[in-house]
Structure 1
């Protein structure tokens, strides 16, 4: 594919030079879930600008990297045969997030076997009547083979979302993820700032360094104490040091 050097511009040179395409690369910076913290914000900006197609490429998916399902309307899981990470990754939880499976590089040896295995796992899923069942498609991106079928599947899934009234659920879930991410960031910043302001941060770090306390018990105590202190004081910040 040419790799992902220079923000994927190398493997997407044709698109990068297209005036109708905007590409923005984002570093995860340690954020779990397979996405950057800024992904939702940028999707919101693109949506507000009236962009009808927004593609999000994650760093890859594993058991804990499925945040994309809470952001995108249609989720594609691309599997390449012969890399050893296809079926194991799917067994770890990817089956639950995929709206469409795509076996890319389907001209490789083992592609048919991989497709059959995924189709078997999909068939073992429990689907209600009328519920979307993920199709398993084959494609060869380098030659554009299977692209038309993939676009048709995406269109069918979009129709399913709108016809079944699922769009409001998708939007609520996206709003929930957005709020929770902001709250997590702000609460962490607030907790660290309060500990530092009251002269508690350095002593706690010293206790951890000397193995007198562990980070889990400290975190639990800080969270419980912070909320209790907040509510007992009517939501106002206290003065002086806390015990």
Structure 2
């Protein structure tokens, strides 16, 4: 255990990769290591990058990594991809787009595939980001594809959330419906050299006017052309502006506490689900279900009794 901690804290990439593989595979041994690493977390700036496929997030990340390395910052990347139905691996090839950073000892890039379980992926991605935090990376970038519920769940770990869109994709209204508008701290119009960039910016501004913000921060809109490295410096400046805003108002720690509360709740729910599945696999439960089918017992009664078994409680309302 001590060797694992020392090697990960020293940014030994092979051991970091092996631990993340354990996390992906649900290895029970991962828990002890993660518990030992936890005291070393909380120092990295976690930045979420999300948006529809084709928005150019990977090339944008490549440019952002290059900019951060120019500032001597160490960078970790968790790229959450859809999964190939043939190989079971991530299919977007983020590491191919970021090959110029592959040999940099202060950059770690890992793609994680859903393998058909987005809920499990959400948990695994958060734990992987925490490993990179404990390893001492200054900035951890978390990229997700799409704007569905699983992506929103993953974004719940981020200190700053950026939504990437591109002109002509016709996706801004769908993004609004998905609820990501409220979660985004800034908007990035990538491929801004394409026709329609100005119109897209106007549409985002209009939608922002409709969204009720619970705070005074109005997400800025940054235009970038990542393939030409244009706008990256301004993007980083706006991210820093958001961080200062959170810190000055005490929201930096407040946001992290909310995220930790949500994570603890997720873990409790997962533990209860596993315990409940174990109980419900017993033959007695099937017998009770038969009694429900024969109208000898009511569903609520059976549910209450079996939940009491799991919780170890009797009496009172559940």
Q: Give the 5 Å matches for 1:1-243.
A: 5=91, 7-32=93-118, 36-62=122-148, 65-127=151-213, 131-200=216-285, 224-229=304-309, 230-232=312-314
Contact 1:35 1:67 survives alignment (8 Å):
no
Q: Which has the higher contact order (CA 8 A, sep 6+)?
A: 2
Q: Distance in 2 between matches of 1:46 and 1:192?
A: 32
Q: Distance in 1 between matches of 2:230 and 2:195?
A: 16
Q: Give unpaired runs (5+ residues) of structure 2.
A: 1-55, 60-89
Counterpart position of 1:240: none
Q: Name which of structure 1's ranges 9-18 and 77-86 shifts more when overlaid on structure 2.
A: 9-18
Greater strand content: 2
Contact 2:161 2:186 survives alignment (8 Å):
yes
Q: Distance in 2 between matches of 1:165 and 1:184?
A: 29
Q: 1:194 to 1:163 in 2, by over 3 A?
A: same
| TM-score between the two structures when normalised by the length of structure 1 | 0.78
Deviation at 1:46, TM superposition (A): 1.9
Which secondary structure state, in structure 1, belongs to the residue aligned with residue 147 of structure 2?
coil
Deviation at 1:143, TM superposition (A): 0.5
Aligned length: 222
Deviation at 1:93, TM superposition (A): 1.5
Contact 2:193 2:225 survives alignment (8 Å):
yes
